[in-house]
Amino acid sequence: MQAFTSLNLRGKVVLVTGASRGIGAAIAAAFAREGATVVINHLSNDAAAARTVAACMAAGGDAWAIKADVGSHVAVQEMVQGVVREAGAIDIVVNNAFKPYAFIPEQRRRFDDLEWSDYQSQFDGAVGAAFNVCRAVLPQMRQRAKGSIVNIVTNLVENPVVPYHDYTTSKGALVTFSRNLATELGPVGIRVNCVAPGLVYPTQGTQATKESFRESLMAATPLRRLAQPEDVAGPVLFLASDLSGFMTGQVLLVDGGLVMR
């Protein structure tokens, strides 16, 4: 039995989608601090992606940005092929990108106000994007019989304290998508897990969340605070690393104990 005493991420090639800011940027920088080579995928904000690259380089890792819409099968295939040409392989994938969503309870749309197209849009942004990325990266992971995929979901799947119907439904589907992949890919040495944050503040999606709601959520949370983007990065690194080498199909809740399983 091989014993691991460190994350053992130095030299690993990591693709983080939606990594120009917020949670994705924090995850990218955390991998860089461990000596990984980080590929920062982003959709449109070149300046933000450049800042994330600079932060990764300053942290001690190699990094570069690639603009690609993860909702496009063709764009993702081209992105992954480019990374493999440049770096030789992709060892770890973090599917963090999702359709823009505002976490403002007072402004959320009730079920009767939603159309199926709203669900479909969120499903395409969560499961569709992960599908495209996994389809592109898995052939080279299978060839090497190793790899780790971490998908970002939400604790709202377990406890919809605010019923964001379309968003939460899509993330629940992403959990099931991940567990099916984990079952199929485990025998060939590829692990698939999820990290489920609670409300993360500040991010683009939560910057308009009212202080009164944030305070009520903190009061109900055993650790008495909200997650910051950096709080999500640690569990992602753990699930990506050799320290979790006998874990697959799992969901780690990162919400200060708001949901306990």
Q: Report the pLDDT averaged over residues 186-191.
A: 98
Instruction: Encode pLDDT of 102-152 as tens digits.
Output: 888 888 999 999 999 999 999 999 999 999 999 999 999 999 999 999 999
Q: Report the pLDDT averaged over residues 187-203.
A: 94
Q: What band does 237 get if pLDDT is binned at 50, 70 and 90? A: very high
Q: What band does 4 get if pLDDT is binned at 50, 70 and 90? A: low
Residue 145 backbone zone (phi > 0: left; psi -120 to 50: alpha; other: beta): left
pLDDT of residue 257: 96
Q: Report the pLDDT averaged over residues 200-226.
A: 88
Nearest to 155 by CA among 207, 195, 213: 195
Name 129's Cβ contacts closer than 8 Å, sequence gap at least 6. 17, 70, 71, 95, 97, 98
Torsion (CA) 204, 210, 213, 215 in degrees, nearest 10: 90
Q: Report the pLDDT averaged over residues 146-162.
A: 96
| Burial group, residue 134, by CB count within 10 angstroms (0-12, 13-18, 19+) | buried
Catalytic choice (101, 164, 167, 201): 167
Average pLDDT, the chain: 94
Scored b (16 or more CB within 10 A) or e, 159-178 reads: bebbebbbbbbbbbbbbebb
Q: What band does 189 get if pLDDT is binned at 50, 70 and 90? A: very high
pLDDT at 30 exceeding the cut of 60? yes
CA distance 203 to 228: 9
pLDDT of residue 239: 98
Nearest to 178 by CA among 247, 87, 229, 260: 247
- DSSP letter string over 8-38? --TT-EEEETT-SSHHHHHHHHHHHHTT-EE
> DSSP alpha helices (H): ranges in 145-258?
165-185, 211-220, 229-240
User: What domains, with CATH codes, occur in the chain?
Assistant: 13-252 (3.40.50.720)
Q: What band does 223 get if pLDDT is binned at 50, 70 and 90? A: very high
- DSSP letter string over 109-149? PPGGG--HHHHHHHHIIIIIHHHHHHHHHHHHHHHHT-EEE
Partner residues linked to 39 by β-bridges: 15, 64
119 in catalytic set: no
Q: What band does 160 get if pLDDT is binned at 50, 70 and 90? A: very high
pLDDT at 38 exceeding the cut of 90? yes
Instruction: Encode pLDDT of 74-103 as tens digits.
Output: 999 999 999 999 999 999 999 999 888 888
pLDDT of residue 28: 98
Q: Helix or strand or coil: residue 57? A: helix
Q: Report the pLDDT averaged over residues 217-243.
A: 95
